[in-house]
Structure 1
Amino acid sequence: MTAPRIVVDVENGVPPWRQVRDQLVRLINGGVLPVGSRLPTIRQLAADLGLAAGTVARAYRELETSGVLTTGRRQGTVVAALPSHAPEPLSAAAAEFVAIARSLGASEGEALNAVRAHYLGE
């Protein structure tokens, strides 16, 4: 089974498990992975992405907890439902940015200015 189109950037500050989870949510919401689609095994997806199996397992576990995925012995991991309570990707990205900005000691104004500069392409 080939892995869905997921790209993990280990240098962007967002934990890899969250990148995997958020991209799976987008693929499911976008219809690329409809309900009933079988996902790669944890080991296979981890190998395809160059990640530790525990990283992919955490992403799958988060989606199982919210009812988006189910895992069974015979069928493997399958899309069970459309994400309804999954965090909105922009909000999740903003939360990650705020955490990083705070860890760097940036003030709210500095953080907002950095976002504005990048948003406007400056």
Structure 2
Amino acid sequence: MNRETIPYREFSFTLPVGVLDGDGTLHRQGVIRRTTGHDEIWVSKDPRTQENPAYGIISLFCRVITSLGNFSAVTPQLLEQLFLTDFIYLREFYTQINQPGLEGMASGEFLATPWSNCTKR
């Protein structure tokens, strides 16, 4: 399989609010990749998810968000600091990049507005 036939797997995003680090620097830029079956299996076996199924999305985001600002790792503790606005944005973004039919999508910033469908929940 050559590079042109491999579906684009990573997408950049900009959080509406962002996460503050210990020095007070705001981080809004990130990269997320498409989810694999292995990710879903791993999340279902995570003890935190088994104890509390609602935690599954945090576990999944830790696996598929490959970078967030200048943080060295995307951890559950980092994602637990997200403002609700950012969390809703990431959930919406995640859903859109993992739907069928995006195989030909070009790389670059996610084109939908961060507020699309956020107020409809």
Normalised by the length of structure 2, the TM-score is: 0.26
Q: Could you say which structure has the higher strand fraction? A: 2
Higher helix share: 1
Higher CA-based Rg: 1
Using CA pairs below 8 Å that are at least 6 residues apart, which structure has the higher relative contact order? 2
